[in-house]
Amino acid sequence: MAGGRRGPLFAALLAAWVVAVAEAEADREQAARPPEQSLVRPMTASNWTLVMQGEWMLKFYAPWCPSCQQTDSEWETFAKNGEILQISVGKVDVIQEPGLSGRFFVTTLPAFFHAKDGIFRRYRGPGVYEDLQNYILEKKWQSVEPLTGWKSPASLTMSGMAGLFSISGKIWHLHNYFTVTLGVPAWCSYFFFVIATLIFGLLMGLVLVVISECFYLPLPRNISEHSEQNLRSEEVHLTEQLQDVEEEKDDSNEEENKDSLVDDEDEKEDLGYEEEAEEEEEDGPAAGGDMEKSDAQDPEPPREAQDDEGSGEVGDDSLEQPCPAGTEALGDSLRQRKSQHADKGPSA
């Protein structure tokens, strides 16, 4: 009985040992095999110009990005069929290559770009193998607006943007070195960068001043004096012109004032003439009646009175001559006649 029980137990132990040995050998063989080489080509700042020739698809990713990790397998499959599609496939790590992310102005991850003979387009579809394959086979990229002008990654503007991004990446790495590796507090690192920025700005200003002084050519003294004289003469000429303009304005204003005063006087005279004419019309009949009465009472006045009357009439005519049509002169002559007749009555 004991021998019968030991037999199956021994067989089970032997089978487990054989399986363990086979798995160990398989692991050794797998470890001895070379790893499968990826067909996705890493792009850096030194070799990115390769995308200017032929047809390419680029992927911008970050190791910490979950969405980027989900599309890794699809991107590898797409790269394996790159020879069939006659396209090259690359990838860019934005952490290691911040300059390239600035050159393409990458703001979201993952980001995909299509390049055809140096003309770049942004692929905004999903990073799935089937969609990527149809995008190339059906040439859907032709309906996408290309990045031209200053937006092109090969332009001078984007080259400057790449430099700024690379500087920011170096600063970020230096900050991590201070805070993580050396254990420096974060506020000390920020203070260091502020002081470094101020010093760098002062040095750049000093360099610009020195360059301007080196390339500055002072004008000869004669030329400078001549230019000053020209400026002074121009200023004097301008002042004279301004004075002439002001005098013309004053003259025109005085003439307008004179014209307005003359017009006012004319209007006043017209109004006075009208009022005197109305008074003459009212006093005319009464004066005629008085004259007839005085003539009836004194039919033959003395010769002296006649002479006086004649002289008065002559005086009246002489008074009427300066303004024969004026109503003011007529009214004065009538008043003088009335006074003369009044004087003749008592003498008679």
Beta bridge partners of 59: 91, 112
Would you give the end-to-end CA distance of the chain in angstroms? 203
Tokens of 283: 């006093």
- My answer on whether omega of the bond before 35 falls inside 30° of 0, hence cis, is no
Return the ∠ at Cα 13 (arms to 9 and 14), rounded to 5°. 115
Whether 165 and 101 have beta carbons less than 8 Å apart is answered as yes
Q: Which of 157, 91, 153, 90 is nearest to 119 (CA)?
A: 153
DSSP-derived 3-state class of residue 123? strand
Q: Regarding beta strands 88-93 and 41-42, do their DSSP bridges make them parallel or antiparallel, or are they unpaired?
A: parallel
Whether 147 and 153 have beta carbons less than 8 Å apart is answered as yes
Among candidate residues 65, 188, 214, 323, the one labeled active-site is 65
Whether 85 and 139 have beta carbons less than 8 Å apart is answered as no
Q: Where are the alpha helices (DSSP H) in the chain?
A: 2-32, 66-70, 72-80, 82-85, 98-103, 129-137, 156-176, 186-215, 221-297, 303-320, 327-347
214 is known as an active-site residue: no
Among candidate residues 68, 188, 214, 323, the one labeled active-site is 68
Q: How far apart are CA 167 and CA 206, in angstroms?
A: 22
CA atoms within 13 A on the CB side of 330: 14
Beta bridge partners of 120: 115, 147
Whether 329 and 323 have beta carbons less than 8 Å apart is answered as yes
DSSP-derived 3-state class of residue 119? strand
323 is known as an active-site residue: no
Could you give the residue numbers annotated as active site? 65, 68
